[in-house]
Amino acid sequence: MPQQTFTYPDVGATAGEFPPGYHHFRLRRRIGSGRAFFDQAAEQVLTYRMQRGSGVFQHATTPEARPGTDITVRIGVGPIGFTAPCRVVYVVDEPNRRGFAYGTLPGHPLRGEELFAVEYDPADDSVYGIIASFSNPDPWYARLGAPVVRLVQRWFSGRYIAALEPH
């Protein structure tokens, strides 16, 4: 079976300047402190803890995020909801920043890309959860409900980061 292509032309753009013509979203929140906590949180991000912890994770083709991994998330309650296929575009593996970005595939209600990462600030030992995305609603029903889609996106971003916080 041939591999599906991304539903947007700006593949990889969450790594730099976000492209015009999309809704841009960024959330950066302190989740803890210490290099050990950063390493632990980074491992959790790369093994989909943000998606699992927020209740949307359905499937990934690899146990750890890497370019080309297909991920399926499902948003909804019971039979009411939608399945959203994505593919990992790149992995961030820097001394003070780790994570991955995935892009939307056909069938996803949005068109765009989302970054899931953690950052370590050696100046004060803080660890931050990061969600950054650019997207637009794709099918007619998502465009019709765009304001609600944005609220849901913000709400889930908070849940993604909360999944990494110590409990």
Instruction: Name the least confident of 73-87, 115-129, 144-158.
Output: 144-158
pLDDT at 124 (0 to 100): 97
Provide CB contacts within 8 A for 4, sequence distance 6+. 85, 87, 105, 106
The strand order across the sheet containing 97-104 reads 23-33, 126-137, 110-121, 97-104, 80-94, 70-77, 57-60
pLDDT at 53 over 70: yes
pLDDT at 78 over 70: no
pLDDT at 96 over 60: yes
User: Tokens at residue 67, please?
Assistant: 């370019």
Where residue 152 falls (left for φ over 0; alpha for ψ -120 to 50; beta otherwise) is alpha
Alpha-carbon distance of 143 to 136, in angstroms, equals 8
Alpha-carbon distance of 121 to 62, in angstroms, equals 29
Tell me what percent of the residues of the chain surpass a pLDDT of 90: 62
pLDDT digits (tens, 9 = 90+) for 118-134: 999 999 999 999 999 99
From residue 140, alpha-carbon distances to 11, 14, 20 in Å are: 23, 25, 21
Place of tokens 């056909």: 106
pLDDT at 115 (0 to 100): 96
State mean pLDDT over 20-24: 93
Cβ(27)–Cβ(132) under 8 Å? yes
pLDDT at 152 over 80: no
pLDDT at 56 (0 to 100): 74
Provide CB contacts within 8 A for 154, sequence distance 6+. 25, 27
Q: How confident is the model at residue 155 (pLDDT cuts 50, 70, 90)?
A: low
